[in-house]
Amino acid sequence: TQLLEQSPQFLSIQEGENLTVYCNSSSVFSSLQWYRQEPGEGPVLLVTVVTGGEVKKLKRLTFQFGDARKDSSLHITAAQTGDTGLYLCAGVTWGSQGNLIFGKGTKLSVKP
């Protein structure tokens, strides 16, 4: 069974602070996706990282895929209250019909 461990499980910070959340696995994935989910809604894709060592930036969000393609991190600079939500990483397994396996998520709360 391929598992994705996310840490921390919960994170509560003040607006303006920086934070990093982690996604780790013992399995190698063909690519990894990060989603953000708000209450009552489905997850929405933020980014897909494909190449080992890849770094992608999306405004104040920086995503990194580990060299061994087993882990990833999401760093948010100067968090805003609108960043509040559940951040989910999802690994794409190998094969033409690969699966999308989700971690349990990091619940982020940014307070004003």
Site residues (vs another protein, CB under 8 A): 4, 6, 30-31, 33, 40-45, 48, 88, 90, 92-93, 96-105
**Residue type for 85, please?**
G
Residue recorded with tokens 């990282």: 49
Q: What minimum distance in Å lies between the beta carbon of 85 and another protein?
A: 13
Q: What minimum distance in Å lies between the beta carbon of 91 and another protein?
A: 9
Choose between 20 and 93: whose C-beta lies nearer to another protein: 93
Among 40, 35, 45, residue whose Cα is nearest residue 104: 35
The conformational region for residue 105 under phi > 0 = left, psi -120 to 50 = alpha, else beta, is left
Q: What minimum distance in Å lies between the beta carbon of 31 and another protein?
A: 6
Contacts 24+ apart (CB under 8 A), 94-98: 94/28, 94/29, 94/30, 98/30
Choose between 16 and 98: whose C-beta lies nearer to another protein: 98
Choose between 37 and 62: whose C-beta lies nearer to another protein: 37
DSSP assignment letter at 100: E
Q: What minimum distance in Å lies between the beta carbon of 78 and another protein?
A: 26
- Whether residue 23 contacts residue 2, with contact meaning beta carbons closer than 8 Å, is answered with no
Choose between 16 and 52: whose C-beta lies nearer to another protein: 52
